[in-house]
């Protein structure tokens, strides 16, 4: 059996990856199934990626991530240690997931659609028409943060704070120690905010998600700390990721005017178009895991405690699973499914609600603005994420 030192090297700093990341990953996936980068072991094959996401031999990569980031002792690190991100497969993770999974399963998430639709409509009405507009600022950031405010029965004016703070704390995934202080302060501000919202909601429970979580806590299914951690986690994970995924969808669809107009005329096609967006240009280019035991991957020995990265971007562009992956095809079969939201016990709990957010944005936008003009856009690709750094357009009446 070969050792980790024998794994092919992958350089995410190469000019080839920086300029054409998905094409580069596609090329690599044809040659190798497993490689190694400076951050750890990289899995490029679709089946191996899916297995690593689901297999009990692989646990959460967050504890190692916090060490790499260098987060100091304090409220932020204490929150991360006690949030679901730090818990591996087992009874504790299952218990923590169960209550909120029931609230945010397909049926539970669907009850949010009317509120999401209201947020989308209100937000578009506020955006200036027939001139260049920063759509990240006026649309993509506002939708998920305003939806979050609905979830926790907070004033819509709080959305800017939620959005800004979510972007700050998501820097944990940069693995850059220079961001540790800012990230720590961001988490502390978010923790204080959530404590206050829970205190206010307890005085008059309503029909919102936070009230439901408080009821679950009062029934003994969650502790007070676990309730708080979940409400923080929803802000931490939802707003930043959803904003970028909305922006990616707008760019990929608007840059194909025929598809854009087709969706405006046939809104039933929006879900399949968004599945292809998430396959073709995923927000999550990889996810992190850690080996819980010694494992063998494609003839290579990987010892316990190693960082493993199922590379979703490579899996989605592997022609063995997705024929002609470079072609954007909204009629592509649903199977194999994209891996954007992970899977199993590590799947994104908010995936159904996030999908509804993006569906409602695209459905409204393509119908109301069939001649939408995409003026400027710019992507940035780290080994972990696709980020949209610029999105300027004109909502043409």
Cα angle, residue 307 at apex, residues 190 and 292 outer, rounded to 5°? 100
Reported pTM: 0.92
Alpha-carbon span 153 to 79, nearest angstrom: 23
pLDDT of residue 88: 73
Chain centroid, CA 244 distance in Å: 8
What does the pLDDT profile of the chain (397 residues) look like in tens digits?
888 999 999 999 999 999 999 999 999 999 999 999 999 999 999 999 999 988 888 888 777 778 888 888 999 888 888 888 777 767 787 888 888 888 999 999 999 999 999 999 999 999 999 999 999 999 999 999 999 999 999 999 999 999 999 989 888 777 888 998 999 999 999 999 999 999 999 999 999 999 999 999 999 999 999 999 999 998 887 788 899 999 999 999 999 999 999 999 999 999 999 999 999 999 999 998 999 999 999 999 999 999 999 999 999 999 989 999 999 999 999 899 999 888 777 788 889 999 999 999 999 999 999 999 999 999 999 999 999 999 999 998 7
Q: What is the CATH number of domain 4-394?
A: 1.10.630.10
Q: Tell me 8's DSSP state.
A: P
Alpha-carbon span 191 to 193, nearest angstrom: 5
Write the burial class of residue 277 (CB in 10 Å: 0-12 exposed, 13-18 middle, 19+ buried).
Answer: buried
Alpha-carbon span 393 to 359, nearest angstrom: 19
pLDDT of residue 89: 67
E strand or H helix at 227: helix 224-254
What count of residues does the chain have?
397
| DSSP-assigned beta bridge partners for residue 387 | 380
| DSSP-assigned beta bridge partners for residue 85 | none
- The answer to whether the beta carbons of residues 259 and 193 sit under 8 Å apart is no
């Amino acid at each position: 059996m070969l050792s980790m030192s024998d794994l092919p090297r992958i350089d995410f700093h190469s000019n080839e990856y920086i300029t054409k990341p998905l094409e580069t990953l596609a090329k690599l996936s044809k040659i190798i199934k497993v490689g190694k980068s400076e951050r750890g072991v990289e899995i490029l094959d679709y089946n191996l990626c899916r297995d690593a996401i689901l297999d009990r031999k692989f646990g959460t990569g967050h504890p190692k991530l916090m060490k790499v980031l260098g987060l100091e002792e304090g409220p932020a690190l204490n929150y991360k240690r006690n949030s679901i991100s730090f818990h591996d497969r087992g009874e504790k993770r299952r218990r923590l997931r169960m209550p909120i999974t029931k609230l945010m399963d397909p049926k539970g998430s669907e009850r949010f659609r009317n509120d999401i639709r209201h947020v989308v409509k209100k937000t578009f009405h506020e955006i200036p028409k027939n001139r260049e507009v920063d759509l990240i600022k006026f649309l993509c950031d506002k939708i998920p943060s305003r939806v979050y405010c609905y979830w926790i029965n907070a004033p819509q004016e709080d959305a800017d704070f939620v959005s800004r703070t979510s972007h700050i704390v998501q820097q944990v995934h940069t693995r850059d120690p220079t961001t540790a202080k800012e990230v720590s302060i961001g988490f502390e501000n978010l923790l204080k905010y959530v404590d206050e919202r829970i205190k206010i909601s307890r005085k008059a429970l309503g029909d919102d998600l936070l009230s439901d979580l408080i009821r679950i806590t009062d029934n003994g299914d969650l502790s007070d700390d676990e309730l708080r951690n979940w409400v923080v986690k929803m802000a931490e994970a939802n707003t930043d990721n959803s904003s970028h995924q909305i922006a990616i969808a707008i760019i990929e669809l608007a840059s194909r005017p025929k598809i854009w107009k087709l969706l405006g005329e046939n809104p039933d096609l929006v879900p399949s178009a968004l599945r292809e967006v998430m396959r073709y240009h995923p927000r999550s280019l990889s996810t992190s895991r850690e080996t819980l035991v010694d494992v063998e991957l494609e003839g290579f020995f990987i010892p316990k405690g190693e960082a493993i990265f199922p590379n979703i971007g490579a899996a989605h562009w592997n022609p063995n699973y997705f024929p002609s992956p470079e072609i954007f095809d909204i009629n592509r079969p649903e199977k194999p499914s994209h891996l954007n939201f992970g899977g199993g016990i590590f799947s994104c709990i908010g995936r159904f609600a996030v999908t509804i957010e993006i569906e409602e944005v695209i459905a409204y936008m393509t119908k109301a603005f069939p001649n939408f003009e995409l003026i400027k856009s710019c992507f940035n690709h780290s080994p972990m994420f696709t980020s949209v750094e610029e999105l300027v357009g004109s909502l043409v009446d």
